[in-house]
Amino acid sequence: MKVTHSLFTLSAIAAALSLATNVTAKETVHHNQHSKMTAEKLATKLVKEMTINERLSLLVGPGYGVDGTNALKSVSGTAGYINGVLNSDSGIDLPAAVLSDGPAGIRIDPTRDDDSATYYATGFPVGTLLASTWDPKLVKKIGKAVGQEAYAYGVDFWLAPGMNIQRDPLNGRNFEYFSEDPLVTAKIAEAEIDGVQSQGVGVTIKHFVANNSETNRMNVDNIISPRALREIYLRGFEDTVENADPWALMTSYNKVNGTYTSQRYDLITQILRGEWGFSGLVMSDWYAGDSAVAQTKAGNDLIQPGGTNLVSGEAQLSALEAAYEAGELDEKVITANAIHIVTQMIKTPSYARVTPSNTPDLDAHATLSKEVAEAGMVLLKNNGSALPIASGTNVASFGIAQYTTRKGGTGSGDVNSDHVIDIADGLASQFTVDSTLQSLYSTWYTNNRTTESDSLGVSTTYYCDELSLTDAQISQAAEDDDIAVISISRVAGEGNDRTATEGDYLLSEDESNLISQVSTAFHEKDKKVVVVLNIPGVIDTASWRDNVDAILLAYMPGQEAGYAIADILSGETNPSGKLAQTFPMDYQDVPSASSFAGVDTDGDGTIDTNYYDDGILVGYRYYTTNDVEVAYPFGYGLSYTKFAYSHPVVQLNSVGNKGKKGHLKLKVTVANTGDTAGQEVAQVYISAPQNGLTKPRYELKAFAKTHTLRPGGKQTLHFTIPTRWLASFDAANHQWVVASGMYKAYISPSSDVSDIAPLTFRVKKAVIIPATEGALDLPAGIQTNATGGILVP
């Protein structure tokens, strides 16, 4: 291609966009409000001015740990760059863009060589806790804060949020994800994205799609019915693309139905772009897939981190260049992908030549981190009003987790915060903590802790065995103190799945003994026992919960962990979080328990294939449809006050009247009937007529959280359900269908709707929404059951 010098150079584009050096965040935001069309037009013009090699260089990252071409700054500890282009002939001066993880904050190195300044970021609560707030407005604030930190540190794209469905409790990365349900996933993600992108920084929703386990994650082939993909695994991404306009999306490591997701044209080009209208850039996960050419042709615009693919050994840029030279990679494809990338790059702070301030407001964000941590903790049990514990009470604090407190998980989801408040410090800030026990624990911890790196070498974690106390020591505490608090923690992280064994899904023997010993001693004295769970996700509770009076599920609550936990225990904050995932009675009850995390089909000793035999019956969809008893249902969470629901009404029903555009509107009044101020989350579950498709008994279709209601206070909550959320996927006819007929709606405090009288409404005319024929089809010979579960061959 002949390179002509054009008047329409990047600097002209910059001028056209009113950009200048040292542009403020506000100005960049303003710039980002330019229509998509403008950015795309400018990008198109620009890409057309580039040589073919420049275009190709945009499609592959510079390599891990290498600054991108034309990087204006080097941000230590970022995950990667998008190469820029600098060409004095054409006048093109496109700076490299900086990419950082995600999702619990901005992951960069806290210190830099030959630099005395520090670059700590706020450790926010993990994704699962954010979802448990059921409070998009609050989550948007987290997004804004993350966006501000990214902007301050010179980061252009945040590699988050993680939007995979929590199919099985043992997925090692569940903590990074939101929920077992696509609606919660979508609404929380959209709020966070709005917040981040309001600051002029892009998000990268990930991992598209069905990255629901870590075992052999770079190669596992997930065999999933098109119906389960559409209704469960893709649905949250789809809604988010429609409503939040994410700048970027990351494809996943795994294969789906035989092909790497990053190499699937039907997934990326036909569904994501074609059906959903995604206009952002698509990047691969780090070293994913095995063919740069296949990725490029599929529409995976950007290959990360670039250089040589560690798994396949392929030098990716050379592979693309060779394919182009050989006529196997069309210039049109290269150009289209480059335009997708540049359209987003020209929105970034790097493009606007923003000088990083490197001074985010860490104090304000610490306050926000704590506020959100408290809003997402879930009170699972509170017998005999064990909680709240009056401030100043004598507390006996047990469990080494009060020192090994986990702010978040390991791997790329870790954040380098400048502090973590452990549970011991948190309790001491509100209560009179038993000093004898305290010194036993702290001495034990100091003498026995070990430091380990995670399997990727990204995070360093402290471990320490549980301290065995004698019966006499525990009895003394029961004598001296008013209440026992036992803390239990778990670590999880990228690269490994969890196990259904003692010390992970089950309590370790030491933890079980501790709970029994402490409960016996304190109950003998008529004193209460509280357990705090500082964990990444679901663990067994059914086997030990009867021994204790209260259980606070704190998840991984970010850097202010201890203070946030103490605020809930003391009643300074009334818990209002609810589960966005089910706690089953037994791991074996989990619908995917028999298939997770796959099988070794070729006998080489490595798991290679994961048959999704649970189909659309994931999480509560399975338990409620099959009447399987659970320990704590999806949507459940206690409060220190009580709420009553009244006047549930279907206010408007235009579903079926206006094609896709109709809506269902409902409302309910929630009153605080207890004597403490608090917030309540109400959920709308809808039971749809089967009409030829077997469906879950009911599914979550809307939710809303009250503001803080004082005792006696009331609020009317409004719910709007777009027609699209009422559709099921008819795989045989490759279309979405909202069936005609009678529907039931339960407005309920949790997914247990057994006490709720349903409202009814009728859809007079079915609504059909066509989808791409043949997309994501199962490999030949694979059959499914009526709810899209794979019949394992």
Instruction: Name the residues that contact ligand BGC, by CB under 6 A.
Output: 79, 101-102, 159, 206, 285-286, 412, 494
Residue type, 533: L
681 touches 643 (CB < 8 A): no
CB of residue 146 to ligand BGC, shortest distance in Å: 14
Q: What does the DSSP assignment read for 595-658?
A: TTT-B-SSSSSS--EEE-TTTT--THHHHHHTT--EEE-TT--B-SS-EEEEEEEEEEE-TTTS
How far apart, in whole angstroms, are the C-alpha atoms of residue 595 and residue 569?
39
The catalytic position among 93, 101, 194, 285 is: 285
Largest CA distance in the chain: 88
How far apart, in whole angstroms, are the C-alpha atoms of residue 429 and residue 530?
18
778 touches 257 (CB < 8 A): yes
Number of Cβ within a 10 Å radius of residue 363 = 9
Residue (374 or 494) nearer to ligand BGC, CB: 494
How far apart, in whole angstroms, are the C-alpha atoms of residue 161 and residue 105?
10
Residue (101 or 422) nearer to ligand BGC, CB: 101
Q: What would the two tokens of residue 222 be? A: 């997930």
Residue (165 or 564) nearer to ligand BGC, CB: 165
How far apart, in whole angstroms, are the C-alpha atoms of residue 724 and residue 747?
19
Q: What does the DSSP assignment read for 61-109?
A: -B-TT-PPTT-S---TT-SEEE--EEETTTTEEE--EEEEB-SSS-B--
Give residues with Cβ within 8 angstroms of 754, minimum separation 6: none
CB of residue 360 to ligand BGC, shortest distance in Å: 20
Residue (285 or 374) nearer to ligand BGC, CB: 285
CB of residue 412 to ligand BGC, shortest distance in Å: 4
CB of residue 552 to ligand BGC, shortest distance in Å: 29
Q: What would the two tokens of residue 540 be? A: 């067994």
Residue 686: burial class (beta carbons within 10 Å; 0-12, 13-18, 19+): buried
CB of residue 103 to ligand BGC, shortest distance in Å: 8
Residue (159 or 565) nearer to ligand BGC, CB: 159
Q: What would the two tokens of residue 744 be? A: 């039931």
How far apart, in whole angstroms, are the C-alpha atoms of residue 389 and residue 550?
11
CB of residue 406 to ligand BGC, shortest distance in Å: 19
CB of residue 348 to ligand BGC, shortest distance in Å: 17
Active site residue 777: no
How far apart, in whole angstroms, are the C-alpha atoms of residue 408 and residue 406?
5
Q: End-to-end alpha-carbon separation of the chain, Å?
A: 52
How far apart, in whole angstroms, are the C-alpha atoms of residue 251 and residue 241?
14
- Could you give the 3-state DSSP secondary structure of residue 646? strand
Residue (159 or 163) nearer to ligand BGC, CB: 159
Q: What would the two tokens of residue 83 be? A: 């190469």
372 touches 133 (CB < 8 A): yes
Q: What would the two tokens of residue 432 be? A: 């009179």
Residue (313 or 457) nearer to ligand BGC, CB: 457
CB of residue 115 to ligand BGC, shortest distance in Å: 23
Number of Cβ within a 10 Å radius of residue 16 = 14
CB of residue 536 to ligand BGC, shortest distance in Å: 15
Q: If you search the block for the tokens 């089953």, which residue do you land on?
A: 584
**Kind of pairing, strands 281-283 and 255-256?**
unpaired
Active site residues: 285
